[in-house]
Amino acid sequence: MAGRKLPGISVPHRKHTAEKIPRRLPVPPMVCIPVSMHIGAPARPVVQVGDTVKVGQLIAEADGAMSSPVYSGVSGKVKKIDDLLMSAGQRVPAVVIETDGEQAGSGAFTAPCVSDFATFIGAVRQSGVVGLGGAGFPTAVKLDVADLSKLETIIVNGAECEPYITSDTRTMIDDAESVRGGVMLLREYMKAKDIVIAVEKNKPRCIKIFSEMFRDDGHVRVAALPAVYPQGAEKVLIYNTTGRLVPEGGLPIDIGVIVINCTTLAAIEKYIRTGTPLYEKCVTVDGSAVASPGNVIVPIGTPLRDVFAFCGGFSERPGKVLYGGPMMGIAVPDLEQTVLKNTNAVLALSAREAEPPEETACIRCGRCMARCPLRLSPAEIESAYRRNRPDELEALRVGLCMECGCCAYVCPANRHLVQTNKLSKALLRSYRAVKPAVKEESA
């Protein structure tokens, strides 16, 4: 157990929806499902315009190992296959389905046959599950460890440190049995001897459930962590539960650790137990502009406007709408964007709250450095970036930055530190790409 914890910040919790039992959204008239909701190669559509699809039907297959299949959460007819501009900037095909409201096919699944590690990984691959708490890294790739003897600890991430979001909390409460089943799967097929269920202390109910559930299990422990942002960030969580540090450019497995989000684990368990692939998500709908915040279960591909409408619409004009929490969430340009696999919350902030604060001169107060969990120096990174010095950026290890936003949150001058770090990383990448050539020249 690590003695020292990494620094972080206290952010307002705003977990208004923690006690809101998820309600199911009525089938929306139309869904638009992009075939790339994960890191890696986009999936390949296997349906054509005019096809009828059922709930749980494969609509795009994985393109290679670093990819993930996509399933339909509705029954209906494929209206078109659109070219969609995703918020990350790339264009991908998206399957647009006009629903018929029948939801034909739901419940009629057969569980996959899982008997060993290989079939377990195969099932995870087929389930369409990707990292649901974060960037959407294909879970099968993460779990497909080459040498299982190197794996020492699996951390089930239920920290949920972002303000507002409670969808993981609801998983831990409502699907506690699935989480338990998931832990058993990890024990059986990954041979994990040390499993940590990590929960922030502001979720005492979840801590109680799992403490009781695994009281007599010597291999599973519950870590109640301080509610300090970004407790749930992978590197921070690993350090705070095991005392180990993921090296720059490395993966958690390099130090014998795997982190899996609790909702991701529950989704895998559900697929292996019942054959239900990932086609719907529980999302937290909240924010100052939402009339009645809550948790909603929606088919993946549901346009955000339908999700907000179900929550009573807007109490005032939203100035900003986010995928995810206010610390790391992505702002979307309009409400036609749809719920993705890794969407755990959609927030609508009032125009007043969305107004970006005025940026003033850096006063060299050092707060950004003191609060960076990874002990980076954002003020110096900003200065190096402005002077166009990729060599300094390299020495400042900007590549480590996980874009958690602590630095920018505390900055009294409201500097755009995360934005600058992103740009700095890009600058450093292009510098590294040409550096070997420069070296050769000078040699």
Partner 1 sequence: MSRMIVSVSPHIRDKTTTAVIMRDVLIALFPALIAAILVFGWRSLLVTAVCVVSCMTGEWAFEKLTGRPNTVGDLSAAVTGVLLAYSLPAGIPVWQAVLGSLVAIAVVKQLFGGIGRNFANPAVTARIVMLLAFSETMTAWVIPDAVSGATPLAVLKGGDLQNLPGLLQMLLGVRGGCLGETGALALLAGGAYLLIRRVISWHTPAAFAGTVLLLTFLLGKQPVYQLMSGGLLLGAFFMATDYSTTPMTNSGRLIFGVGCGLITVLIRVWGNYPEGVSFSILMMNILTPYIARFTRQRPLGGAKL
Q: Which residues bind partner 1 (CB under 8 A)?
A: 6, 9, 11-12, 163, 235, 239, 245-250, 317-322, 326-335, 349, 353-357, 360-366, 369-370, 373-377, 379-380, 394-397, 399-400, 403, 405, 408-414, 416, 418-419, 422
415 contact choice in ligand SF4, partner 1, none (CB below 5 to 8 Å, kind-dependent): ligand SF4
**345 makes contact with ligand SF4 (CB under 6 A):** no
d(CA 283, CA 425): 31
Stretch that binds ligand SF4, among 73-81, 94-102, 291-299, 400-408 (CB under 6 A): 400-408
d(CA 104, CA 109): 12
Report the sign of the C-alpha dihedral through residues 332, 406, 232, 260, in that order. positive
**Which of 365, 395, 434, 438 is close enough to bind ligand SF4 by CB under 6 A?**
365
Is the separation of the CB atoms in 213 and 262 below 8 Å?
Answer: no
Stretch that binds ligand SF4, among 196-204, 302-310, 371-379, 386-394 (CB under 6 A): 371-379
d(CA 294, CA 17): 5
Shortest separation between residue 294's beta carbon and partner 1, angstroms: 21
Comparison of 180 and 415: residue with beta carbon closer to ligand SF4 = 415
- Bridge-based pairing of strands 330-332 and 345-350 is unpaired
**376 makes contact with ligand SF4 (CB under 6 A):** yes
Report the sign of the C-alpha dihedral through residues 310, 312, 317, 319, in that order. negative
Q: Which helix (H) or strand (E) covers residue 298, if one does?
A: strand 294-299
**327 makes contact with ligand SF4 (CB under 6 A):** no
Shortest separation between residue 108's beta carbon and partner 1, angstroms: 38
d(CA 399, CA 118): 34
**426 makes contact with ligand SF4 (CB under 6 A):** no
d(CA 419, CA 203): 31
**Which of 246, 379, 393, 427 is close enough to bind ligand SF4 by CB under 6 A?**
379
Give one DSSP letter per residue of 179-233, joined into a string. Answer: HHHHHHHHHHHS--SEEEEEEETT-HHHHHHHHHHTTT-TTEEEEEE---BTTTS
Comparison of 133 and 299: residue with beta carbon closer to ligand SF4 = 133
Written as six digits, the tokens of 443 are 């040699």
**393 makes contact with ligand SF4 (CB under 6 A):** no
C-alpha count within 13 angstroms, C-beta hemisphere, residue 247? 5
402 contact choice in ligand SF4, partner 1, none (CB below 5 to 8 Å, kind-dependent): ligand SF4
Comparison of 129 and 379: residue with beta carbon closer to ligand SF4 = 379
Q: Which residues make up the interface to ligand SF4 (CB under 6 A)?
A: 362-368, 372-374, 376, 378-379, 401-407, 411-413, 415, 417-418, 421
